[in-house]
Chains A and B, each alone.
Chain A
Amino acid sequence: MLRRTTVAAAALLAAGALLLSACTGSFSASPSSTGGVADPDASIAVRLVAEPGNLDIRETAGAALDQILIDNVYQGLVSRTPDQEIVDTLASSHSVSADGLTYTFTLREGVTFHNGEPLTPADVVWSLQQVKDNASYRDSERLARVSTIAANGQDIVLTLSEPDSTLLWNLTGRAGLVLKEGDTTDRKTTANGTGPYALADWKQGDSITLKRNDAYWGDKAKAAEVVLDFIPDTQAALSGALAGELDVLTGFDANLKDQVEANGDFALVLGKSTDKGVLAMNSTKGPLADKRVRQAIRQAIDKKSIVEALGAGQTLYGPIPELDPGYEDLESSAPFDPSAAKKLLAEAGAEDITLNLTIPSFYGSTVSQILVSNLNDVGITLKVDNVEFPTWISDVYTNKDYELSFVLHTEARDFENWANPDYYYTYDNPTVQDLYAQSTRATDPDKAADLLKQAAKIVADDQAADWLYNGASVLAIGTDVTGFPSVNVNERMNLADLAKTKS
């Protein structure tokens, strides 16, 4: 009896979730409020998969840090909305000169840091200059074309040596974050920013607690506290949700939809993302140096079956995902066609070859099993080498010692890697590099996007790699929770609107 009601409830909820997932383009696609009033004293528990090694936003890589700290704790002059639009944040307004060489930001007044000190134009100049001058800082090179950074009253003026169509976007990221000049806060374990939340506590190996910043310059955060619980194991996260210990699960598995929705307290929400499942092919040696072999591999892999197996996301046939400028559907560069693949392999004299795939073990076996089976169908034996991530970084990323590699690239607008011959992709095409450089120098955004589109088509036609899928942000959100972002949550997770209704 219990079981039957559970199944019925699950079916109802599944229908509901389908309706919900149809509106994922909006700012927030969390389930609509049950009619209760948001509780200003709420403490909301959010499950995250990966814990950052430390909190140093200047030096330590990893999307986990961006996700937790940017927008919530640290802010820049500008920031990006979930719809990937650029909006003023610590700047109250900004303007760009017609020649694209002068950027003027007017700094908002009355902003304070979490330690109570006021934000001054000197802090902004100092922060940007620090990033530009310290080569070991993340994204330092993104300010390479900025020649001077100066304050003029309440205005911050950047002058460029040549136009840079990516500058504003880059300022929404780490390069643009504003810290207090001369701050002695230990950035590795604490943080002092201007955002709607202050970092209250980091219990290493367990959780990070964000507390509402009551002195915030804008609309105050709706929840008193957000606890980010690091739970790598999906099953543990599911149990925690069902036992009522967690309010939101990020990085969830869409195949567990029925289980998490079974008791009616959660709904599965899917959002678009810039996660790109990249099957990199080392074209510097062996059979993969032959474009026909690379094309055959792409045509042998059934992308739709991968998306189906993951239960979320969509197919992707080129280097640029739908959320980024320059996207177009490039399926025609290598449509799924095993017999065409066999023909190409025969032409290349590469029948019956063996290839090695290096894949970090935390991705599980879903993708690699499909690859083994698809490639086996066209006569390629795929050996799968599951490795720890540090091994991948060392062997594949640093030493480029691999044949095929799979990694999920989450970063938005990262086409530059295809224009960098030193990147582990081993792709070196001067035309693409030139188009990319032109695109970054363009002063008109549409022109810049169009140049990226041309470059992306060449990359796909060169069969530089394969793109197995464009992932989704998979969330399970409590039905009493509102305002959780759904788009590209792996990269950014602005919690300012997050709220929980009184139960």
Chain B
Amino acid sequence: MIRYALTRLALLLLGLFVASALIFVTLRVLPGDVAQLIAGMNSTPAQVAAIRDRLGLDEPLPVQYLSWIGGVLRGDLGTSLLTGSSVADELVQKGQVTIPLGLLSMTIAMLVALPFGVISAMRRGHADGTAINVAAQTLAAVPVVWAGMMLVVVFAVWLGWLPAQGFPRGGWSDPGLAFRSLLLPAITIGVIEGAMLMRFVRSATLQATGQDFVRTAAAKGLTRNQALVRHGLPTVGLSIISVLGLQVAGIIVGAVVIEQLFSLPGIGRMLVADVGARDLPKVQGELLVLTGFVLIVGFVVDLVHRAIDPRQREAE
């Protein structure tokens, strides 16, 4: 187990290094730079050059990369070229919207996926099981933007129960208000992600039904459903943990779209704005943290999986 963990950790570090290089290089390929954008549409080349010089954009790329990575290793993610604010502070600030949004979406997705996935597998061949399955297929195909707009029209504009857009200026100082403004966006992501996850839960459950140990339990006197719930579902749980690792990336991408749609001041919207402003030191810091987060979640999921699955432990 320790050897496995160390190998996996080495892979994680290699992954982070490769990601940092890729992020740095791909951003430099983007046309247009921050100096041109600051100077705008009535500027002279001399003005642009002066701004570029002041911002240190003329340094050779390897020097820029090394100074960035050196900073990251010392715990400094960099500062914005436009406002001079630190990337870490900005991430903490915007994370107060995006992290709760992600957790809430994930919870909603699980609440949708687990019960309906298991029921639709157990009721396979019955009308209700089929109905759940068809509903999930349909939901999973709904575009996020459309779903969000429909929810807003019904719950915010017609019924007036929830805010249509925005996040309270006071942040979490009024938790009820903050929570309410995240609810519609989280439902939008959660239900669609949940519908996709549900199909996965369903097939994992079906697979478990056919396993030797479930059949044996049934042969020893449990009903088929009892055997499934007591011995089959733990294996379903294991497969879901692995999929959740992948879902994290999906939810981050979903947040970029949904924060735009609901004008939430989160990490996704900040990222889009910073790319548009070509504030590259800020963008690369943000991307590195997001990529690092997904890689670390994958790392933890692998370790947990290894630790709790008796079959993998024995294989060692």
Contact = CB atoms under 8 A, between A and B. Distances in A.
Decide whether A and B are members of one complex: yes
Interface of A: 51, 53-54, 59-62, 135-136, 138, 141, 186, 188-189, 201, 203-207, 209, 227, 229-233, 235-237, 239-240, 242-245, 388-395, 397-398, 407, 409, 411, 414, 417, 422
Best-surrounded residue of A51, A186, A243, A389 (most CB of chain B within 10 A) = A243
B174 to A, nearest CB: 15
A205 B44 CA distance: 29
Best-surrounded residue of A239, A409, A414 (most CB of chain B within 10 A) = A239
Contacts of A229: 166, 263
B31 A240 contact: no
A60 B38 contact: yes
B50 A391 contact: no
B203 interface: no
B270 interface: yes
A204 B41 CA distance: 23
Contact of A230 (B51, B263, B276): B263
Interface residues of B, number: 52
Best-surrounded residue of B153, B167, B263, B270 (most CB of chain A within 10 A) = B263
Given A188-B84, A203-B265, 17 more contacts: A53-B82, A53-B277, A54-B83, A141-B44, A189-B84, A189-B85, A204-B83, A204-B270, A205-B269, A206-B265, A231-B166, A236-B261, A240-B164, A242-B164, A245-B166, A391-B31, A395-B31
Contacts of A392: 32
B169 A135 contact: no
Contacts of B94: 205
Contacts of A395: 31
Contacts of B18: none
A243 B40 contact: no
A388 B262 CA distance: 22
B38 A59 contact: yes
B265 A235 contact: no
Interface in B13-32: 30-32
Contacts, number: 144
Given A393-B36, A393-B37, A61 B82 contact: no
B166 A390 contact: no
B156 A243 contact: yes
B263 A394 contact: no
A188 B85 CA distance: 10
B273 A236 contact: no
A390 B276 contact: yes
A54 B79 CA distance: 13
Contacts of B31: 388, 390-391, 394-395
B169 to A, nearest CB: 6
Contacts of A407: 41
A230 B45 CA distance: 31
Contact of B90 (A54, A136, A204, A230): A204
A173 to B, nearest CB: 11
B47 A136 contact: yes
A61 B43 contact: yes
Contact of B47 (A62, A135, A204, A205): A135
B165 interface: yes
Interface in B262-316: 262-263, 265-266, 269-270, 273, 276-279
B45 to A, nearest CB: 8
